[in-house]
Amino acid sequence: MPRTTLKGSIGFSDTTIIVQNGTIFPVNNSFLIIIDNEIMKVKFRVGDTLTVVRAIENSIQDTHTNGVDVTQVFRSFPIEVQAKIDNIYGLKNQFKTLIDQIEVKNEDVANASKTVSLLNAKSYNREAYAAAARATAAAASQQDIATTGQLSIVTQGLIAAAQEATADAATTAAELVTAQGVAAGFNDELTTLFENYNSLAAQINTDAKNTQDAITDSLMAQVILTDTITKLKDVLVTPVVKLDNVKNAFLHPSDPYLKLASYERSLMYQDTPSFDPPNDTGGARLGDTIGIPAPRP
């Protein structure tokens, strides 16, 4: 494979790099290079200067030091098939983002529910206290009127305390209504996120099956081509791409889960943080494999 070295270090976000010998690379066509573990797409080359798109093929963007190897890499599949594979990765990244949003929103819902519970208990206690204070003030008032014909200072204090307790109970009740509204809003947002989750899961399953078919067709074409060339030229040794490289890449389409584990090398798949969807005992777990549950009815 064409290989040179980096001339000068490149930063995390640099999109223009200089190599020691750019003439080994194509001029008019875009191509892929790898520096350390980061894969880049070269949009065009002028002399030894390459203009690149960073961190493609699910690789990790990073800085690179002077003198490291810059190697051209080649796709394993035709462009149209690779486009389908790239699309799956795009959907996978959307899925990861959606899961992060669900985790955050689920925490919001839990906190809001806790607030509602606390305010509900507080409201009940305030109402009970206010009712008791009003009853005590009323009894004292009746006693004062019966004995002296006027309210005592103590009774006036009890009446004021009862009025304050009643106002406090009303304020707490209003806070409870507000908190219930916030919790209901979070629940609605979480419901929408789960609907998007199911929709995206269904799309991934469908696109994955289409990608599997495209990969199989591509590999079959390579096998047939290789067989033909071998018959024409016995001296030509061309490795046959075996279908068992991808036979476990995806489960049968009737199965509700999508599996990409055995596809790791060709797609450069990377592990994703595990996740159990809230309130979903049969939910997906992202880890060494992507589990996509079938859409909820």
203 and 69 both lie in a single domain: no
Question: Token pair for residue 96?
Answer: 């990861």
Domain that includes residue 64, residue range: 3-74
51 and 119 both lie in a single domain: no
Q: What is the pLDDT of residue 180?
A: 92
215, part of any domain: yes
Per the document, the length of the chain is: 297
24 and 103 both lie in a single domain: no
HEC secondary structure over the chain: CCEEEECCCECCCCCEEEECCHHHCCCCCCEEEEECCEEEEEEEEECCEEEEECCCCCCCCCCECCCCEEEEECCCCCHHHHHHHHHHHHHHHHHHHHHHHHHHHHHHHHHHHHHHHHHHHHHHHHHHHHHHHHHHHHHHHHHHHHHCCCCCHHHHHHHHHHHHHHHHHHHHHHHHHHHHHHHHHHHHHHHHHHHHHHHHHHHHHHHHHHHHHHHHHHHHHHHHHHHHHHHHCCCCCCCCCCHHHCCCCCCCCCCCCCCCHHHHHHHCCCCCCCCCCCCCCCCCCECCCECCCCCCC
For the chain, 297 residues long, give each residue's pLDDT as a single digit of tens.
689 999 999 999 999 999 999 999 988 778 889 999 888 999 999 999 999 999 987 788 999 999 999 998 876 566 667 677 777 777 878 888 888 899 899 899 999 999 999 999 999 999 999 999 999 999 999 999 989 888 999 999 999 999 999 999 999 999 999 999 999 999 899 889 888 888 888 888 888 788 777 777 766 666 665 555 555 544 433 333 333 333 333 333 333 333 333 333 333 333 333 333 334 333 333 333 333 343 444
90 and 204 both lie in a single domain: yes
Q: Could you tell me the maximum CA-CA distance found in the chain, to the nearest angstrom?
A: 125
Burial level of 97, CB count in 10 A (0-12/13-18/19+)? Answer: exposed
28 and 146 both lie in a single domain: no
84 and 70 both lie in a single domain: no
| CATH number for the domain that contains residue 156 | 1.10.287
29 and 167 both lie in a single domain: no
Question: Token pair for residue 44?
Answer: 């065009």
- Last residue of one domain, picked from the residues 22, 55, 74: 74
292, part of any domain: no
123 and 174 both lie in a single domain: yes
131 and 24 both lie in a single domain: no
Q: What is the pLDDT of residue 228?
A: 57
Q: Find, among 70, 62, 55, the residue nearest to 17 by Cα.
A: 70
18 and 48 both lie in a single domain: yes
Query: How many domains is the chain partitioned into structurally?
Result: 2
| CATH number for the domain that contains residue 60 | 2.40.10
Q: What is the pLDDT of residue 280?
A: 39
- How far apart CA 173 and CA 142 sit, in angstroms, is 30
221, part of any domain: yes
184 and 209 both lie in a single domain: yes
57, part of any domain: yes
- Last residue of one domain, picked from the residues 74, 95, 129: 74
Q: What is the pLDDT of residue 90?
A: 78
133 and 249 both lie in a single domain: yes
